[in-house]
Amino acid sequence: MARPRAARVDAAVQLRRVGPTHEGLGQGIAEDLRRAILDGSIPAGASLVEADLASRFGVSRGPVRDALRDLARQGLVIELPRRGTVVSTISLRDIQEVYEVREGLEIVAVRLAALRATDVDLEPVEARLLALEAAWDRDADYTESLTLDLEVHQAIVAIPGNRRLVDSYERMLVQTQLNAITAAEQNPGLRRGMRKSVHRDIVRGLRARDPDRSADAVIAHYAYARERLLAGYPAER
């Protein structure tokens, strides 16, 4: 990870206050912080101070500590010497590695899906794809269209029914969201203009029950996605 900036969470960031009798305090706090990190409200490099967050949420420091551990497991925050917990800063290498892993997992998924899928299995993919394309057509907020985009891929990976494959893939999606938000700050063009065929070609391969065609469509999709994602991103020295 690149070295984070020293900023702390701005007081204007809206964080949900959870009462002391609320069940799953740590999980609720983690989810609220995750949302704020992934929509860019809490920027990369911001310090997350236990005492400050406990006061903001109206809880003791224990649930906040649990929440920060959960976020660390997802790669959204890291511990730095003399800095404490900070929001992860994404490097060019981080982006490339996440997309390489996602591509590999998705190639396996579509090959299995092409052999196993029924028409009913493909319906959730089609439904999510239509929702994504509708969001693009109305120029929806980038975080909304990004969420819908990832839901299309989740639906594809879920088709084979391989729980371990799904678990591995979903761990990459949280980091993908952070990657994409960071990259969009560098390249505002990411927020619009996605070519619709890149997803449609994958679905066509699955509809044809053709593993090679489906895998080739995934490879083409990720080549295009990397080209867009890395455009304008500063090269590492």
How far apart, in whole angstroms, are the C-alpha atoms of residue 219 and residue 237? 28
How far apart, in whole angstroms, are the C-alpha atoms of residue 190 and residue 41? 18
Token pair of 98, please? Answer: 């996440």
187 lies in the same domain as 80: no
Classified as helix, coil or strand, 40 is: coil
The answer to whether residue 188 is domain-embedded is yes
Could you list the pLDDT tens digit for every one of the 237 residues in the chain? 444 444 566 545 666 654 444 447 888 899 899 888 887 788 888 999 999 999 988 899 999 999 999 999 888 898 888 788 999 877 778 888 989 999 999 999 999 999 999 999 999 999 999 999 999 899 888 888 889 999 999 999 999 999 999 999 998 888 888 877 777 776 666 666 678 899 999 999 999 999 999 999 999 999 998 888 776 565 655
How far apart, in whole angstroms, are the C-alpha atoms of residue 80 and residue 209? 49
The answer to whether residue 16 is domain-embedded is no
The answer to whether residue 67 is domain-embedded is yes
The answer to whether residue 7 is domain-embedded is no
How far apart, in whole angstroms, are the C-alpha atoms of residue 180 and residue 137? 20
The answer to whether residue 235 is domain-embedded is no
Which of the 8 DSSP states describes residue 213? H
Provide the CATH number for the domain around residue 134: 1.20.120.530
The answer to whether residue 68 is domain-embedded is yes
109 lies in the same domain as 202: yes
How far apart, in whole angstroms, are the C-alpha atoms of residue 208 and residue 189? 33
139 lies in the same domain as 219: yes
Whether 61 and 50 have beta carbons less than 8 Å apart is answered as yes
Whether 176 and 150 have beta carbons less than 8 Å apart is answered as yes
The answer to whether residue 76 is domain-embedded is yes
- For residue 34, the enclosing domain spans 25-87
The pLDDT of residue 6? 47
175 lies in the same domain as 64: no
**What is the enclosing helix (H) or strand (E) of 160?**
none
